[in-house]
Amino acid sequence: MTTAEIKEMASKYIVNTYGERPISLARGEGAYVWDAEGKKYLDLVAGIATINVGHCNARVVDALIAQARQLIHVSNLYYIEPQAKLAKRLVELSFADKCFFCNSGAEANEAAIKVARKYTKDKITKDKYEIITMFKSFHGRTMTTITATGQEKYHKGFEPMAPGFKYVPFNDLKALEDAVTDKTCAVMVEPIQAEGGINMPDDDYLIKLRKLCDDKNLLLIFDEVQTAMGRLGTLFGYESYGVEPDIMTMAKALGGGVPIGCMATKDHIAESLSPGTHASTFGGNPLVCSAALASLNYIVDENLPDNALKVGGYVMDKLKELMGKYPVIKEVRGKGLLIGMELKVEGKGFVMECMKEGLILNCIGSRIIRIAPPLIISEKHVDEALPIMEKNLANL
């Protein structure tokens, strides 16, 4: 089918929550995708920081095919071997002792919110339930997770919001300390605010946040939906800052392209999610867990976090060179291969012009160009993208 035919069908039958889309992508391989007409694009978005191992990674595809031929779904009424193997591997590689699997980042954050409140009521006091999150954060699209999200634009039309949340500025420890009350049970934060604009923490912010939570007997939740799986140059984002949370959430890149989420935590906290307190019909099914295990092992075996550091550093250097030439660039910031280039003008037109020339970028907010490519990219790929970016920066 052509893009026009696909658009006509989608417009007729699909709820329009994504607006106008210029192309229909039909095939992917490595760092490239092709549209329905066969045009090739270099993809620096990776399904929104999801395809870390590259499009249609052979090990992920082989795992999916093998598992699909054996068993796709049985529900969590029974033990599932690929789920147990994936949990074991994640625990071996992280601070956590236990995993709960679901289908998305929003669901993982829901699980984190539930276990934080339940643990606090079980082990500390029944009077604590509030969770502090950050302005400009993003934690999901369910009613609870849009409430946790500190951006009013996501709340409009869905009021009233769920009770039990308050917001403080990111990177402001004093504001956070002042916001803690006798009702506070946890703090929820992204190591780097991704959807909020690639907002970076000060070098010691997360370390001091960990100490504050320890001093106040609060749980620290890291939303690593975009920062886990090697993107910042370490397998998990918390490792980049030398801070261990009590609870961590993952999704996006965990599955290598298939939908899976995970809430990981310590034994003493996990105990509060006893049988019957939480569940997910499709969470951790054999198919997605086989794909996720293959993706995770590929990231580790191929040392993709190191590549993210190396190539990410190259991207940052080149973008800063462009910033010196083109005053329309306000700032370049990021870590590893999660990079934001903030413009002084609207960025949508820039993204569209780059797309016409075979380069896929993403604009968040209205002026921040997000670069979150597959972690398999090389400096050669970057050199392919830069002339397209420079040409269109010169036209702004």
CA distances to 332, 355, 385 from 345, in Å = 14, 18, 21
Half-sphere exposure (CA, 13 Å, Cβ side) for 86?
32
* Phi and psi torsions of 198, nearest 5°: 55, 55
Closest CA to 260 of 111, 65, 388, 160: 111
Please classify residue 179 by burial: count the beta carbons closer than 10 Å to its beta carbon, then call 0-12 exposed, 13-18 middle and 19+ buried.
Answer: middle
Question: 98, 128, 136, 138: which is the annotated catalytic residue?
Answer: 138
139 near 263, Cβ under 8 Å? Answer: no
Q: Which of 128, 136, 252, 335 is catalytic?
A: 252
Q: How far is CA 163 from CA 129, 130, 132, 144, 167, in A?
A: 9, 8, 12, 9, 12
Q: For residues 212 and 133, give the distance between their C-alpha atoms in angstroms, rounded to a whole number.
A: 14
Q: Which of 364, 395, 370 is nearest to 319 (CA)?
A: 370
- Count of C-beta atoms within a 10 Å radius of residue 73: 11
Report how far residue 355's alpha carbon sits from residue 20's, in angstroms, rounded to the nearest whole number: 14
Show the DSSP H helices in the chain as ranges. Answer: 3-13, 46-49, 58-70, 81-93, 105-123, 143-148, 173-179, 205-216, 237-241, 267-270, 286-301, 304-325, 348-356, 379-394
222 tagged catalytic: no
- What lies within 8 Å, CB to CB, of 159 at 6+ separation is none
Catalytic site residue from 35, 43, 223, 246: 223
Residue/partner pairs of 147-150 with CB below 8 Å, 24 or more apart: 148/109, 148/113, 148/188
Check if 223 is active-site: yes
Quickly tell me which residue has 């995970």 as its tokens.
Answer: 262
138 noted as active-site residue? yes
Contact indicator for 297, 365 with CB cutoff of 8 Å: no
Catalytic residue positions, numbered: 138, 223, 252
